[in-house]
């Protein structure tokens, strides 16, 4: 299908027709959005609402974890509001001077978007009950968002963005990512043959996976032959791998019309004025997309965006929990090591080790939001200990063998007026370090188990535990435990 723009000898100003067309456009938009009440679409929409509502209500974040995530949480709530209010978001992208703002004004039927600088919206626009807001893009740029008053329950948000060549590469990437991932439909506006920068920006927006309409604007400035030559070059060469011909339309958002005038001195001349906008083909294309997939599109885009935000929340939550878990594990390691180093009785050594390991498992389960009883912690400890092999055996041998030696050296130290105290401390710290490595391994295994939702996954506990143990640097952990123990012992003297 060849996309052409009707160019009658129109360009005649008719404000009554413009108002009627504007009202009809809004009514058609509303009708399009609400023509999906049948079959599976409505059910899918309701399911998306329910899923997102449950996600917002069950974030499972502690006050500490919420700190720094306020923007992400607010984004989820915004997406839920978008579904509840039936909001379709249409964002316009393009370089400076391509007529993005004029095009959006033509769709609206009123001058809502400034056609000059991005910042600043006229008071008249604000007085006609349009909802107008600005959204930060990077450190200095803003995107203008205008919400159309719906005829029914629906709302259509038109989003005007900074010219893509007004901002640096990093900000341009942030702009494409931030706006495009929220929008349900993207209008990419050009006004002639595409530049390399326009092609790169369009390619980047294509990766967002959203419907895109390429709008060849300002076609009134070209003779018919030139206009069609540029159109075919864009269609057949420039965007052949990015868009289909059905996704390309031509428009004249603010056409200049030559009008014959009579001057005061009686002579005749030509005056340029703004004619009626030629955007019917674009309107039809937008309506076609909304009729075909509008409500499903809103639900899908909302859930995709919510999924991205949720992944960010989960990643941040797990990162915070891992930091806290590692602190808890090391605290248990040093508590166990210190207790064993200072206690010469073998049976008490073993019992205190078990008690500390159980307390560690219970502490980690609470940190990851799982309710676990002491009996459950004991069962998990047994399963981990049986699969730990070498570390568990090392700890047991150390407790049985080194405890006896430590006891003898302790007695000797008393009999020899402290002469055997040095060897006693050395043996005690070695025994404590071995026990600490065991607790460290138990803690790391428990952390992974809980972070995976209290499951070992398809590989089973032994495979998971072996992978974790294979990556433990026992020598480094031993040395760290010994250094801290020596420091603590010296402080006690």
Domain match, 169 and 111 both:
yes
How many Å from the N-terminal Cα to the C-terminal Cα in the chain?
Answer: 90
Helices (runs of H) and strands (runs of E) counted in the chain: 17, 9
Q: Is residue 355 included in any domain, yes or no? A: yes
CA-nearest of 330, 118, 325, 298 to 210 is 298
**Helix, strand, coil abundance in the chain, percent, nearest 5:** 60, 10, 25
Q: How far apart are CA 389 and CA 462, in angstroms?
A: 10
Which residues are CB-contacts of 441 (< 8 A; sequence separation ≥ 6)?
Answer: 388, 391, 468, 469, 472
Q: What angle do CA 202, 206, 104 make, to 5 degrees?
A: 60
Give percent of the chain above pLDDT 90. Answer: 17
Band of pLDDT at residue 121, cut at 50, 70 and 90? very low
Q: Which residue has the higher pLDDT, 416 or 191?
A: 191
Q: How far apart are CA 289 and CA 282, in angstroms?
A: 11
Q: Tell me which of 249, 277, 305 is where a domain ends.
A: 277
pLDDT at residue 126 greater than cutoff 50: no
Mean pLDDT confidence for 309-328: 85
Q: How far apart are CA 384 and CA 392, in angstroms?
A: 9
Domain match, 242 and 348 both:
no
Q: Which residue has the higher pLDDT, 424 or 67?
A: 67
Domain match, 322 and 441 both:
yes
Enter the tokens of residue 45.
């929409």
Band of pLDDT at residue 119, cut at 50, 70 and 90? very low
Q: Which residue has the higher pLDDT, 473 or 426?
A: 473
Mean pLDDT confidence for 302-329: 84
Q: Which residue has the higher pLDDT, 245 or 108?
A: 245
* Residue 276 φ/ψ, nearest 5 degrees: -70, 140
Domain match, 257 and 372 both:
no
Enter the tokens of residue 50.
């329910």
* Among the ranges given (31-35, 157-161, 218-222, 277-281), the one the predictor scored with the smallest mean pLDDT: 31-35
Give percent of the chain above pLDDT 70. Answer: 70
* 10-22 per-position pLDDT tens digit: 334 444 454 555 5
Domain match, 253 and 362 both:
no
Band of pLDDT at residue 226, cut at 50, 70 and 90? very high
Domain match, 339 and 463 both:
yes
Domain match, 258 and 334 both:
no
Give the residue numbers spanning the domain of 181: 68-132+147-277
Domain match, 192 and 333 both:
no
Residue 345: predicted pLDDT? 61
Q: Is residue 171 included in any domain, yes or no? A: yes
Residue 225: predicted pLDDT? 95
CB distance 413 to 420 below 8 Å: yes
Residue 136: predicted pLDDT? 67
User: Phi/psi class of residue 231: alpha, beta or left (left: φ > 0; alpha: ψ in -120 to 50)?
Assistant: alpha
Enter the tokens of residue 333.
């390691």
Q: Is residue 3 included in any domain, yes or no? A: no
Q: How far apart are CA 77 and CA 56, in angstroms?
A: 7
Calculate the average pLDDT of the chain: 75
Q: How many structural domains compose the chain?
A: 2
Domain match, 338 and 254 both:
no
Q: Is residue 141 included in any domain, yes or no? A: no
Band of pLDDT at residue 146, cut at 50, 70 and 90? low
Q: Is residue 473 included in any domain, yes or no? A: yes
pLDDT at residue 155 greater than cutoff 80: no
Domain match, 270 and 322 both:
no
Strand partners, 135: 143
Mean pLDDT confidence for 122-130: 30
Residue 186: predicted pLDDT? 93
How many CB atoms are closer than 10 A to CB 326?
A: 14
pLDDT at residue 222 greater than cutoff 90: yes
CATH number at residue 170: 3.40.50.300
Domain match, 242 and 372 both:
no
pLDDT at residue 62 greater than cutoff 60: yes
* 455-480 per-position pLDDT tens digit: 887 777 778 777 877 777 767 877 88
Q: Where are the alpha helices (DSSP H) in 343-420?
A: 346-367, 374-388, 390-397, 403-415
Band of pLDDT at residue 58, cut at 50, 70 and 90? confident
CB distance 184 to 218 below 8 Å: no
Pairing of strands 248-250, 212-216: parallel
């Amino acid at each position: 299908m060849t996309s052409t723009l009707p160019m009658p000898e129109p360009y005649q100003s008719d404000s009554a027709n413009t108002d009627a067309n504007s009202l009809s456009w809004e009514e058609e938009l509303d009708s399009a959005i609400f023509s999906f009440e049948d079959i599976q679409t409505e059910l899918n929409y309701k399911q998306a609402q329910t899923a997102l509502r449950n996600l917002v209500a069950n974030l499972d974040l502690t006050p500490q974890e919420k700190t720094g995530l306020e923007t992400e949480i607010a984004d989820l709530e915004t997406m839920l509001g978008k579904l509840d209010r039936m909001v379709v978001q249409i964002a316009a992208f393009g370089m400076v001077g391509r007529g993005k703002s004029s095009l959006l004004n033509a769709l609206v039927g009123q001058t809502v978007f400034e056609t000059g600088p991005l910042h600043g919206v006229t008071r008249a626009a604000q007085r006609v009950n349009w909802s107008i807001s600005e959204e930060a893009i990077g450190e200095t740029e803003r995107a203008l968002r205008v919400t159309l008053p719906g005829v029914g329950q629906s709302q259509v948000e038109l989003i005007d963005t900074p010219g893509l060549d007004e901002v640096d590469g990093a900000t341009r990437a942030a702009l494409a990512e931030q706006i495009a991932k929220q929008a349900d439909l993207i209008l990419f506006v050009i006004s002639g043959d595409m530049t390399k920068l326009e092609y790169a920006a369009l390619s980047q927006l294509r990766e967002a996976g959203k419907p895109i309409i390429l709008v060849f604007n300002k076609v009134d400035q070209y003779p018919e032959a030139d206009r069609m030559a540029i159109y075919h070059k864009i269609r057949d060469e420039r965007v052949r791998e990015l868009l289909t011909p059905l996704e390309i339309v031509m428009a004249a958002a603010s056409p200049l019309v030559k009008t014959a005038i009579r001057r005061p001195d009686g002579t005749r001349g030509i005056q340029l004025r703004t004619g009626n906008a030629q955007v019917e083909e674009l309107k039809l294309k937008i309506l076609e997309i909304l009729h075909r997939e509008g409500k499903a599109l809103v639900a899908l885009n909302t859930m995709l965006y919510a999924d991205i935000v949720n992944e960010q929340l989960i990643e941040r939550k797990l990162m915070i929990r891992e930091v806290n878990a590692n602190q808890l594990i090391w605290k248990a390691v040093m508590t166990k090591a210190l207790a064993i180093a200072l206690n010469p009785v073998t049976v008490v050594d073993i019992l205190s080790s078990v008690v500390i390991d159980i307390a560690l498992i219970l502490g980690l389960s609470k940190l990851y939001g799982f309710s676990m009883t002491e009996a459950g912690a004991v069962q998990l400890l047994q399963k981990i200990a049986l699969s730990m092999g070498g570390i568990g055996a090392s700890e047991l041998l150390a407790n049985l063998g080194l405890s006896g030696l430590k006891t003898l050296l302790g007695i000797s130290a008393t009999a020899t007026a402290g002469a055997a105290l040095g060897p006693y401390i050395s043996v005690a710290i070695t025994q404590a370090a071995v026990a600490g490595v065991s607790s460290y391994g138990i803690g790391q295994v428990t952390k992974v188990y809980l972070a995976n939702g209290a499951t070992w996954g398809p590989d089973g506990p032994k495979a998971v535990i072996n992978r974790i143990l294979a990556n433990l640097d026992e020598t480094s952990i031993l040395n760290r435990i010994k250094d801290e123990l020596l420091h603590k012992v010296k402080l006690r003297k």
